């Protein structure tokens, strides 16, 4: 995939080469590959990390996973740390500062030059999961009276620090965002052309308080590679680039996968996480759900006498519960994912439930018919076949209604819909479907003399 030095080879090169040799080879070394090599290395990495120039160290920390950033950073002395942060992009620096010893933060920020320090302080005020929390402040503004040549000369002077030059922004005297021009448009036009006709005055931007998931939806909808961030007065504050959002989208999906499987979210690769940490993330929900499942025991005990006389009824409890759980989980998953992607909102509640009820009738009838003939064929007991199959239809309708309702209710209550997934739905549907099953059994078996 690349001609770069990677893995063990890269590690060996860094360990055995002089600073001069490393500097000469720097073009063949990507910070992301150094990170990969560090991941597999158990010794003290400082001897070879210190051979690298500060910009590369800054890049390594920028590209590290959220939870590894501070760990690598803390390997260095305070003076080295100050040098490293002076090379970091504002958005990355804020991510780092949020994860290190708070006592050190003030000291570090004060070492920056006044403007950068203010920038960082401003950025730290935003919630880290909003547009303001992930934006960078290094963007480039141009004036609408410039020519292509003037713009290029301006970039030669002021372009280097920018997070990206793909888009240049036009602001008025108050800093209000008035237009955007793409660098591509600039460079395909003649040096003497004015840039004014290339400027698009209706800029699509996001407000600083917008949730990062919605920023990703906006940038994805329009197919942008970056998007400007503004305050309530439309003053430009920063930019967010599509590659940063790739991380956001992946992280948000992972969090949803975990919540939907009743696992507490935490950063960190599976293989790097300890056994106790993994166990801790799972025990709470399992305990909660186990205790909730007590209701099913209580229900079964209430019908103990019925069960004692028709033990065969027990045989279908697992099938009913599994099918109910699966049917509910299908609905909950589609609704949770639809809400995460912005396709379904709270206002769609009635449309969703109406749709799920209709779907569940179709699905329920098909499954019940198959089930009816299967039980009839094997057990030659038409009442049993009827009891189980009717219970199955009710179970599926209940499961899909509960599965569609709970995620939307959660969103309404400002709880993450993802926790209303399979495990919670299953626990609720189990209890409901057992009641339906036993009630039906009592009614249908009664003429045959089942003790109530």
Residues 270-309 that bind its own copies (CB under 8 A): 270-271, 275-276, 278-279, 282-283, 285-287, 289-291, 293-294, 296-298, 300-301, 304, 307-308
**Interface mask (CB under 8 A) for its own copies, residues 386-425, using x and -?**
------------------------------------xx--
Q: What is the spatial distance between Cα 452 and Cα 441, in angstroms, rounded to a whole number? A: 10
Which of 70, 80, 86, 164 is the binder for its own copies (CB under 8 A)? 164
How many residues bind its own copies (CB under 8 A)? The answer is 132
Which of 55, 87, 247, 416 is the binder for its own copies (CB under 8 A)? 247
CA distances from 189 to 152, 156, 166 (A): 11, 17, 15
User: Which 3 state secondary structure label does DSSP give 195?
Assistant: coil
* Per CB under 8 A, 147 contacts its own copies: no
For residues 152 and 444, which CB has a smaller minimum distance to its own copies in the complex? Answer: 152
Tell me which H or E stretch contains 226: strand 226-230
Which of 130, 218, 401, 405 is the binder for its own copies (CB under 8 A)? 218
* Per CB under 8 A, 359 contacts its own copies: yes
Q: Spell out the SS3 assignment of 370-402.
A: HHHHHHHHHHCCHHHHHHHHHHHHHHHHHHHHH
Which are the contacts of 243, defined by CB distance < 8 A and separation ≥ 6? none
| Stretch near its own copies under the rule CB under 8 A, chosen from 72-80, 94-102, 117-125, 364-372 | 364-372
Residue pair 320/236 in contact by the 8 Å Cβ criterion: no
Shortest distance (Å) from residue 124 CB to its own copies: 22
Q: What is the spatial distance between Cα 69 and Cα 73, in angstroms, rounded to a whole number? A: 6
Shortest distance (Å) from residue 301 CB to its own copies: 5
Which of 426, 432, 435, 445 is the binder for its own copies (CB under 8 A)? 426
Among positions 11-70, residues that touch its own copies (CB under 8 A) are 27-28, 30, 32, 36, 62-63
Question: Using CA atoms in the order 188, 193, 197, 202, what is the torsion angle rounded to 10 degrees?
Answer: 60
**Cα of 53 vs its chain's centroid, Å:** 33
* Per CB under 8 A, 134 contacts its own copies: no
* Per CB under 8 A, 321 contacts its own copies: yes
């Amino acid at each position: 995939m690349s001609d770069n030095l990677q893995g063990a080879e890269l590690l060996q090169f860094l360990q055995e080469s002089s600073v001069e040799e490393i500097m000469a080879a720097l073009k063949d070394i990507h910070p992301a590959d150094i990170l990969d090599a560090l991941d597999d290395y158990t010794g003290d990495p400082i001897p070879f990390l210190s051979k690298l120039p500060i910009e590369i160290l800054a890049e390594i920390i920028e590209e590290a996973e959220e939870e590894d950033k501070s760990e690598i950073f803390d390997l260095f002395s305070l003076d080295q740390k100050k040098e490293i942060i002076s090379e970091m992009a504002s958005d990355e620096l804020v991510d780092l500062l949020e994860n290190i010893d708070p006592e050190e933060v003030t000291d570090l920020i004060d070492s920056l030059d006044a403007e950068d320090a203010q920038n960082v302080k401003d950025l730290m005020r935003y919630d880290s999961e909003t547009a303001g929390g992930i934006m960078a402040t290094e963007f480039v503004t141009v004036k609408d009276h410039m020519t292509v040549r003037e713009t290029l000369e301006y970039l030669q002077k002021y372009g280097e620090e920018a997070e990206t030059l793909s888009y240049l922004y036009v602001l008025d005297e108050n800093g209000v965002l008035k237009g955007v021009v793409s660098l591509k448009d600039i460079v395909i036009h003649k040096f003497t052309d004015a840039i004014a006709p290339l400027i698009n005055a209706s800029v699509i931007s996001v407000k600083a308080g917008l949730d990062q998931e919605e920023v990703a939806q906006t940038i994805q909808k329009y197919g942008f590679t970056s998007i400007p961030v503004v305050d309530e007065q439309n003053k430009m504050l920063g930019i967010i680039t599509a590659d940063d959002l790739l991380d956001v989208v992946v992280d948000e999906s992972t969090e949803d996968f975990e919540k939907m499987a009743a696992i507490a979210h935490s950063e960190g690769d599976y293989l790097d996480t300890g056994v106790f940490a993994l166990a801790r993330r799972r025990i709470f929900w399992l305990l909660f759900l186990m205790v909730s499942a007590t209701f099913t025991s209580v229900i079964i005990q209430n019908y103990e006498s019925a069960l004692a006389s028709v033990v065969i009824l027990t045989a279908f409890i697992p099938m009913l519960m599994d099918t109910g759980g699966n049917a509910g989980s299908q609905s909950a998953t589609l609704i949770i994912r639809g809400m995460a992607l912005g396709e379904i909102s709270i206002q769609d509640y009635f449309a969703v439930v109406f749709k799920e009820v209709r779907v569940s009738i179709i699905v329920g009838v098909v499954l019940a018919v198959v089930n009816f003939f299967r039980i009839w064929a094997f057990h030659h007991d038409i009442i049993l076949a009827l009891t189980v199959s009717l219970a199955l239809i009710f179970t599926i309708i209940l499961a899909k209604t509960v599965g569609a309702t709970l995620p939307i209710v959660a969103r309404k209550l400002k709880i993450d819909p993802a926790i209303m997934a399979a495990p919670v739905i299953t626990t609720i549907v189990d209890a409901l479907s057992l009641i339906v099953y036993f009630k039906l059994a009592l009614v249908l078996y009664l003429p045959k003399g089942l003790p109530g």
